[in-house]
Chain A
Amino acid sequence: MDRYEIRLSGSGGQGLILAGKILAEAAAIYDGLNAVQTQSYGPEARGGASKAEVVISDGDIDYPKAVELDLLLSLTQESCNKYSGDLKEGSILIVDSEAVKDLPQGDYRIYSLPISEIALHKVGKAVVTNIVALGILTTICGVISAEAVRKAILARVPKGTEELNMRAFNEGCQRAAELLSG
């Protein structure tokens, strides 16, 4: 794998930078690949467009930013509009179906799931939307092992929230698996 580029996008405060760090750690530490995670955010603490990028490779990674996306996650319409232009042919777009109604036209594999809804009503907390998204993304892209992502989540999330985060991740994995087989 020369270069696999992932961008996680939404609005500030949704935990996308943490999700990016978890993905990068899963790939680089637990799956033995190379990974670089970068981020971009505005001067405000909440709201505004936010994105985290993870570039994964089995070789060295020189340029650390994403240029041609293999996978884009969008939790808001604004971020989907802003970033879907960087998707390359045949790439993957995962969106929160509650927030993103307007889908881009193009040669993409689009997966629309109620991500924040699953977090809030299935898992019980909106705050784990990012971890549900990680479960979905891991299952659909197949580049990083679910086991590696689980280990990386446990290493990063606050003490006492491990069980909640594992439920969120597993729920995401399961929903994506159903979508893929259905």
Chain B
Amino acid sequence: MEKSESSTTLMMQGNQACAVGALAAGCRFFAGYPITPSSEIAEYLSVQLPRRGGKFIQMEDEIAAMGATIGASLTGLKAMTATSGPGFSLKQENIGYACMTEVPCVIVNVMRGGPSTGMPTLPAQMDVQQARWGTHGDHEIIVLTASSAQDTYEQTIRAFNLSERYMTPVILLLDEIVGHSTEKVVLPRQSEIEIVNRKQPEMPPQDYLPYKTGPDLIPVLANLGSGYRYNVTGLCHDETGFPTNDTRNNEALIRRLVEKIKAHRDDIVRYRERKLDDAEIVIFAYGSVARSAKSAVVKCREKGIRAGLFEPSVIWPFPVKEVFALSGKVKAFLVPEMNLGQLAREVRGAVEFKVPVHQLNRVDGNPITPLEIVNKVEEVI
């Protein structure tokens, strides 16, 4: 597929579209531990990566898989792992390590429901806040989401591009319906795909400081083995990469880690909208629920209710500015989610409680249908 000179239309499962997108983005390393409902990503890459000179490793567990992903990325390979809730919990410590050491990598979490092993085969969106705050310490993180196989393909490529540009782990949150739905995907020519590759140092090795950054606040990390030697640690470190207890240095480091994402939020945040221009009620929905919401918008309009859809494809950084801008124009928000209100609270904060934010929540492993959304809209408007 990668070598094809014309665009190709294929029927693809969302998980496969994720794997195909990863390859198109240049991913050449995957370490993981298979887990429903994400296993098809590993399955597909286990076949395709070796054919492209890449490496696939099934590790002993998810902690090791995250570690291997970071290690591979330090050598310059674009690296990813994929998992579901229980594995995502295990990866958190090393995700923090990747934030602190500024190593680009992509973590896909095809969400399932419940704490612990929960509901392996049923859809849910219960890891949205964990994606933001799962690892400890002040940090920023980029989290993307997708609502179809086509979208999954595109967002996976974007996840790699953002991670390479901002030298940071990027999380792609999918749900079981998106991961397991098979539908048409149009694959563009490889030459038409925008690909971002991390920068490499231009000065001689003796002048190189890995964590010295310019005005963009983003470090340039040399590929290990390329002749540039430096230290990598999860401890607070100075520009050389060696640990330090200099409190002024450490304050500057933590602030820079956060600021390098915040300062570029306009480049990162993306959303899609439908019929927001004259909307009296905004349905804020993401993942597979956005598809139900799209259909609900049409049905509401048929009933004379001016509903619109706000579908974030980036949920962290949260589109605060964009959601706030709507608060002066609409009567209410409705946030349907397959959790108990994890992003509804963010919407509420973004609109500064100026307009009511209603919730529609399911945590039983069933999808939210268009009809349920329409009924809720009729109830609250």
Which residues of chain A have a CB within 8 Å of any CB of chain B?
20-21, 24-25, 28-29, 34-43, 61-65, 67
Contacts and interface: CB of A to CB of B under 8 A. Distances in A.
A62 B291 contact: yes
Contacts of A62: 291-292, 294-295, 298, 370
A21 B122 CA distance: 19
A35 B13 CA distance: 12
B177 A38 contact: yes
B294 A28 contact: no
The B interface is mostly helix, strand or loop, or mixed, namely mixed
B322 interface: no
Interface residues of B, number: 23
B120 A43 contact: yes
A42 B121 contact: yes
The A interface is mostly helix, strand or loop, or mixed, namely mixed
A162 B120 CA distance: 34
Contact of B184 (A34, A63, A67): A34
Contact of A25 (B11, B120, B121, B180): B11
Contact of A40 (B36, B121, B294, B295): B121
Contacts of B120: 43
B11 A24 contact: yes
A35 B185 CA distance: 11
B121 A37 contact: no
Interface of B: 9-11, 36, 120-122, 177, 180-184, 288, 291-292, 294-295, 298, 367, 369-371
A34 B184 CA distance: 7
Contacts of B10: 29
A36 B121 contact: no
B182 A21 contact: yes
A37 B369 contact: no
B183 A64 contact: yes
B69 to A, nearest CB: 27
Contacts of B369: 63, 65, 67
16 contacts: A21-B182, A28-B11, A29-B11, A29-B184, A35-B11, A37-B181, A37-B183, A39-B180, A62-B294, A62-B370, A63-B295, A63-B370, A64-B177, A64-B288, A65-B367, A67-B369
Given A21-B11, A64-B288, A65-B367, A35 B183 contact: yes
A63 B181 CA distance: 11
A38 B121 contact: no
B288 A28 contact: no
Nearest to B367: A65
Nearest to B294: A62
The interface centre, meaning the residue of A39, A41, A63 with most chain B CB atoms within 10 A of its CB, is A63
Nearest to A64: B181
Given A36-B181, A37-B181, 4 more contacts: A29-B9, A35-B183, A62-B292, A63-B295
B84 to A, nearest CB: 13
A177 B288 CA distance: 39
B38 to A, nearest CB: 15
The interface centre, meaning the residue of A25, A28, A64 with most chain B CB atoms within 10 A of its CB, is A64
Contacts of B291: 62-64
Contact of A61 (B36, B177, B180, B183): B183
B182 to A, nearest CB: 4
A39 B122 CA distance: 10
Contacts of B9: 29
A43 B292 contact: no
A25 B182 CA distance: 9
